[in-house]
Amino acid sequence: MALSTPTTALSQFDILQGTKPAALGMMSGYSWEADPKRIAFSSARYLFVAKMLEGKAAVLEVGCADAFFSRIVRQHVGSLVACDLNPAYIDSARSLRSPKWMIVMRQLDILKETLTGFDAVYCLDLFEHIADEDLLLGNLSKCAPLAIIGTPSIESQQWASEISKSEHVNCKSKEALRAAMQKHWKEVLVFGMNDNVLHTGHMPAYLFGIGINASSP
């Protein structure tokens, strides 16, 4: 009776040797060097968005920066268009693109232009930089019937850096964010997050507002 030759399975190390290490982008690379924990809670924010939008066919991200974290959402949706006002961020994002997780990158000023035909739109860490919140939210509501807005709370600003404080011109409480979004969406749900923990308790450090319209505007 002939003995079969044993098959040697590839080890994890064998697989890793054949891969090219992924690079960080302009903003994510700075965060990793200056404040590594930011990578962890930024990932948690994107994972929340990914789970809320899971199964959506066409999704738009506004204010993607270098789009390093956008791949987390792309993993859970059919297609993703990621846009930012800053051309340097878009160049950095394009340099990170993977054929496995294709994301369309676009330079866009959401205060002057909208994109339509999406199932959902989200923006994280953009709202607090925009003084004209009605223009921003109104334009986002034209993009899709479902929107997720992620922003630091007003209560969190006592721990913010001086740079953040100077650039955060429109931080809100949970109640104020809900009121602002209710002008543009029929239903609004607000969640909070402290570090990586999602909750509905008092004084969250980070807010997620989910706006829902019954049909596209």
User: Could you give all domains of the chain from N- to C-terminal order, each with its CATH number?
Assistant: 37-212 (3.40.50.150)
Over residues 87-98, mean pLDDT: 94
Euclidean distance between CA atoms 152 and 157, whole angstroms: 8
Enumerate residues 6+ apart whose C-beta is below 8 A from 188. 178, 181, 182, 209, 210, 211, 212
73, pLDDT greater than 70: yes
The pLDDT tens digits for 118-142 are: 999 999 999 999 999 999 999 999 9
pLDDT band at 6 (very low <50, low <70, confident <90, very high): low
pLDDT value at residue 161: 78
Helix, strand, or coil (residue 205): coil
Average pLDDT score over residue span 102-130:
97
User: Mean pLDDT, to the nearest integer, of 65-93?
Assistant: 97
The SS3 assignment for 132 reads: coil
Average pLDDT in the 45-73 region?
98
Question: pLDDT grade, residue 21 (50/70/90)?
Answer: confident
User: In the structure, what pLDDT confidence band is assigned to residue 217 with cuts at 50, 70 and 90?
Assistant: very low
- Is the confidence at residue 169, as pLDDT, over 60? yes
Question: 4-13, 17-26, 45-54, 63-72: lowest mean pLDDT where?
Answer: 4-13
Q: In Å, what is the CA distance from 108 to each residue of 1, 46, 89, 167?
A: 70, 20, 11, 20
Taking residues 149-154, report their average pLDDT.
96
φ and ψ of 67, to 5 deg: 60, 20
Give Cα 6 distance to the centre of its chain.
47
Please say if the pLDDT value at position 216 is more than 90: no
pLDDT of residue 130: 97
